[in-house]
């Protein structure tokens, strides 16, 4: 699907979708349990993949009792459900009857690969073309070190994957600078092993806030996992950790049998950025569902403020108000917040001066190479950029955005970021592949249209 966006002014309120990161972890944690309810989940293409994996391991995921009859349990769609009842597999996944298709969800594949290692038999995992090009080798090596057969069918560290357990636990070393999801996968699975798992990081940990999300959620499910320093002493958070320790024999059991998913700050970044570049002068764009959590992407609030936009975050109410402003370039390290790069790049294209996005090489290994994608697509709109292996510089003072046809690269975050850029570009911008917002923010264009975006989809003006 293509969308055609004409420069627009925005006003009003939009609600952030639930967090994709938390929903993935909550669904799998509920699968590891004897059963739990996941409240306010994100229902998207990626999280449906995780729900299907839970079912493949012998659990089930269905709309909680009392949900609308329009929801579909059979195909794992659950559209309209605001709570999901998960029947778990009690920490012992069954061997799946069929291949597990993770579609385009890297989080699903990595978390589920470790879960598959617990099964007493062989599991095969695959995904779409994009997912089959993403690195899984360090996690496979770690599982192999723990005594599990874990292989890439093409011997290139990429899916399809074959995993044969069961995993008993043990000590393992793994790099921390490729994907924090490897650590999350080992911690979640390690808690239900017989021996527990001790993880040693062989490189500094990037995207540490995503591991903090995992630690927070595990605690909410009654599971102990501890980041440790080089001396083996416990730390308060994942940042600076030399490793992690998770005892075995634990039980996943959330208080009261349910877990509520918080709002998603990765998605909030697009709404916040849109308000900063396109709010009606003198008015605000308000974002609901922004309660504090362990999400590192909450850093977008401070970044937008530093660029010069007035932002008021009522943390107790979970509401952010942002005003339009003349923005100025900044320098941002995205080592811990890789998903913010597309939004920051767009803001940099609108801002005066240079915006330098540093420590971003790992952002090249997402659904697409997001560093190159943002540089190339913003240049189509008239932005000037300089791309280095680990740095993206956007020369806002030399940029004059004009409508053009840009490619979303089959990547939800590229699509949404370019749609924000279109709000500040003269004329009309066509964004190709806009349907991919379904991965994390299915209602994105509805929300933007409600705020005042002039957007045409499939010939209908919203």
Residue 25 annotated in ligand binding: yes
Residue 413 annotated in ligand binding: yes
- Out of 101, 264, 297, 339, the active site residue is 339
SS3 333: strand
Q: Which candidate, 300, 240, 233, places its Cα nearest to that of 273?
A: 300
Residue 329: CA atoms inside 13 Å, Cβ hemisphere, count? 19
Residue 179 annotated in ligand binding: yes
Peptide bond into 160 cis (omega under 30): yes
Q: Does the CA dihedral 274-22-114-184 come out positive or negative? A: positive
Residue 8 annotated in ligand binding: no
Residue 106 annotated in ligand binding: yes
Residue 370 annotated in ligand binding: yes
Angle (deg, nearest 10), helices 265-278 and 444-451: 30
Residue 92 annotated in ligand binding: no
Q: How far is CA 129 from CA 38, 66, 101, 172, in A?
A: 30, 38, 12, 30
The verdict on whether 407 is a catalytic residue reads no
Residue 339 annotated in ligand binding: yes
| DSSP label at residue 365 | G
Distant-in-sequence, close-in-space partners of 74: CB < 8 Å, separation ≥ 6: none
| DSSP label at residue 352 | B
Residue 21 annotated in ligand binding: yes
Angle (deg, nearest 10), helices 370-380 and 412-424: 30
Residue 409 annotated in ligand binding: no
Residue 366 annotated in ligand binding: yes
Show binding-site residues for phosphoenolpyruvate. 20, 106, 134, 181, 370, 413
What are the catalytic residues? 339
Show binding-site residues for 3-phosphoshikimate. 20-21, 25, 179-181, 207, 339, 366
Show binding-site residues. 20-21, 25, 106, 134, 179-181, 207, 339, 366, 370, 413
């Amino acid at each position: 699907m293509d969308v055609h966006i004409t420069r627009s002014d925005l006003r009003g309120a939009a609600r952030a979708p639930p967090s994709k990161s938390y929903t993935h972890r909550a669904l799998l944690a509920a699968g590891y349990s004897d059963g739990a309810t996941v409240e306010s989940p994100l229902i998207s293409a990626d999280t449906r993949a995780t729900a299907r994996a839970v079912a493949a391991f012998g659990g089930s995921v269905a709309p909680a009792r009392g949900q609308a009859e329009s929801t579909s349990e059979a195909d794992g769609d659950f559209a309209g459900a605001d709570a999901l009842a998960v029947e778990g597999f009690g920490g012992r996944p069954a061997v799946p009857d069929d291949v597990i298709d993770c579609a385009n969800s890297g989080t699903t594949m990595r978390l589920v690969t470790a879960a598959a290692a617990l099964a007493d038999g062989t599991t095969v995992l695959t995904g779409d073309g994009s997912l089959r090009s993403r690195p899984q080798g360090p996690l496979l090596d770690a599982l192999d070190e723990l005594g599990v057969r874990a292989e890439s069918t093409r011997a290139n560290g990429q899916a399809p994957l074959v995993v044969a357990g069961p995993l008993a636990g043990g000590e393992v070393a793994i790099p921390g600078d490729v994907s924090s999801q490897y650590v999350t996968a080992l911690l979640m699975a390690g808690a239900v092993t017989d021996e527990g798992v001790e993880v040693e990081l062989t490189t500094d940990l990037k995207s540490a806030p995503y591991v903090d999300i995992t630690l927070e959620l595990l605690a909410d499910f009654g599971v102990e996992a501890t980041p440790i320093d080089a001396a083996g002493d416990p730390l308060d958070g994942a940042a600076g950790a030399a490793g992690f320790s998770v005892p075995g024999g634990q039980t996943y059991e959330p208080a009261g049998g349910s877990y509520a998913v918080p709002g998603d700050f990765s998605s909030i970044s697009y709404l916040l950025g849109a308000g900063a570049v396109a709010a009606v002068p003198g008015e605000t764009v308000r974002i609901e569902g922004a309660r504090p959590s362990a999400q590192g992407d909450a850093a977008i609030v401070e970044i937008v403020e530093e660029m010069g936009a007035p932002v008021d975050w009522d943390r107790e109410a979970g509401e952010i108000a942002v005003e339009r402003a003349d923005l100025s370039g900044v320098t941002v390290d995205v080592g811990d917040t890789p998903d913010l790069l597309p939004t920051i790049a767009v803001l940099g294209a609108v801002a005066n001066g240079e915006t330098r996005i540093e420590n971003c090489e790992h952002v090249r290994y997402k659904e697409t190479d997001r560093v190159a994608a943002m540089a190339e697509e913003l240049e189509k709109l008239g932005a000037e950029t300089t791309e280095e292996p680990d740095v993206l510089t956007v020369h806002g003072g030399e940029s004059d955005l004009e409508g053009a046809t840009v490619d979303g690269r089959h990547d939800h975050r590229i699509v949404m970021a370019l749609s924000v850029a279109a709000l500040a570009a003269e004329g009309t911008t066509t964004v190709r592949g806009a349907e991919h917002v379904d991965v994390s923010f299915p209602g994105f264009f509805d929300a933007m249209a409600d705020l005042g975006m002039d957007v045409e989809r499939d010939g209908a003006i919203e």
